[in-house]
Amino acid sequence: MSGFRITAVALGAAFISTFSLGIAQAGWPDDYKAYAAAMQRGDTAAALPAAKAAWEGSRAALKPGENRALLAQNYGELLILTNPALGAEVWQDAVSLGEQGFGLGNYQLGEQKFFLAVSEVLESGGRDRKAVKAADKALKALESPRPRKVQALLTAQMLLARTKVVLGDRGRAQDISDALADDLRSMDPTPLSLLAEVEVTRSMITANTVMRSHGKFVSEGQRQSERRRYVKRVRETALGVREALSRFSPVSSLDSIPVAYSKLSAWEMALVGLVEVNGDSADAQKMERELREIPAGILRFPEGCPEQVTWKKKELVIPNVQGGYIGAMSIGFELNDSGRPENIRVLAEVPETRFTDRVLDDMKRWEADLSNLPPQCRALNIWDIVIYPAL
């Protein structure tokens, strides 16, 4: 029986599979070829159903073996990168085959068990603490010295860290995120979207950390000492965010701004707000100086365009019912011939959707000074805002 060999199919951003396919069975080899072609085009949306069909077809047509194991890993890895809550059954199959000695040249058995554990965490909605503990145990087994720098493994670690933030295990989440950030920054090229997600996770950890003296009777000296430590931590987190932002290449339109950049930018503004609320003017000024030393503007403005619009009329009122939060928004907009914002879009918001309606409603009544603003500058504007808690 004749056969064929398929080689050099990149999975995610860092994984290549090479194996032989017999053609006695119809169906799954064609699905695999469709998956391989989609991956070579970088079309994950097309690769996902083809990978699923190849895996399902191979389970029906093949005995346990190398091909079945690799097809399971192909589909499982795509799910880790796109919809990990659906990956448990796939990784259960891959682990079962791996325990029989199949497919270990791509992902080691411990790595596959980590994928399975993380998939089970996400399948439970992140609420099963026993599953989270098992995933953390599987990760620790890979941390001698560090897991491989493979996109899916890095992504799975980020997902586990973020789940731990939600469950309140911020210490372990911080350790995972800090190590991940170091790993990602050492890669060439750096996976920017994933680095941004890790820095968002680190920002979430910092923003959700309550000073231990909060609500307790402690001396003013103890309170001030803790406040200084907290402000320092927020500043350090913000500088990590700014460094990640600086790695993005400039773009020439609002529609070209990566979602990861906008989300991270909003978190930077939220961290600025935390320093201004919890620190003093010297803390805020120091942070502003440090951030300015790391340029991170994403927009490539036409020649002669200012980075900020001058407003003749600008008012934003957040009702007290929405107070109690430090929020941040990054908003893109154009200006019409009357100087009014139009085509307003929220690029990112922290917390998500909390302030959107009110801010967009107020912005429609603003009016920009167009006297020194050339026409080519009116279509490219970003406004970053920090929303402080009502006092």
| pTM recorded for the entire structure | 0.84
Q: The domain 221-238+256-391: what is its CATH number?
A: 3.30.1150.10
Residue pLDDT, tens place only, 317-339: 765 444 556 889 899 999 999 99
Kindly write down the DSSP assignment for every residue of 57-123, as one continuous string: HHHHH--SSHHHHHHHHHHHHHHHHH-GGG-HHHHHHHHHHHHTT-STTTS-HHHHHHHHHHHHHHH
pLDDT of residue 219: 66
Walk along the chain (391 residues) and give the pLDDT tens digit of each residue. Answer: 333 333 324 343 333 343 444 444 458 999 999 999 999 999 999 999 999 999 999 999 999 999 999 999 999 999 999 999 999 999 999 999 999 999 999 999 999 999 999 999 999 999 999 999 999 999 999 988 889 999 999 999 999 999 999 999 999 999 999 999 999 999 999 999 999 999 999 999 998 876 544 444 556 777 788 888 889 999 999 999 999 999 999 998 888 999 999 999 999 999 998 998 888 889 989 999 999 999 888 888 788 888 778 888 887 776 544 455 688 989 999 999 999 999 999 999 998 877 888 888 889 889 999 988 888 888 888 888 888 765 4
* CA distance linking residue 194 with residue 260, whole number of Å: 8
Extract the tokens encoding 230.
């907290």
182 to 129, 195, 290: CA distances (angstroms): 27, 9, 20
- How far apart, in whole angstroms, are the C-alpha atoms of residue 169 and residue 152? 23
Which residue bears the tokens 């100086």?
Answer: 289
Q: How far is Cα 8 from Cα 241, in angstroms, rounded to an integer?
A: 35
All structural domains of the chain with their residue ranges: 221-238+256-391
d(CA 230, CA 277): 12
Q: What does each C-alpha distance from 110 to 14, 64, 104, 114, 137 come to in angstroms?
A: 18, 19, 10, 6, 11
Distance, CA of 16 to CA of 10 (rounded, Å): 5
Instruction: Give yes or no for a contact between 122 and 160, defined as CB atoms under 8 angstroms apart.
Output: no
pLDDT tens digits for range 336-369:
999 999 999 999 999 887 788 888 888 988 999 9
CB 199 within 8 A of CB 261: no
The Cα 104–Cα 96 span in angstroms is: 12
Which single residue is written with the structure tokens 């029986």?
A: 1
| Closest-CA residue to 112 (of 127, 123, 100, 124) | 100
Q: Report pLDDT for 324.
A: 59
The span from the CA of 358 to the CA of 346, in Å, is 12
pLDDT of residue 389: 65
Q: Rounded to an integer, what distance in angstroms lies between the CA atom of residue 107 and that of residue 98?
A: 9
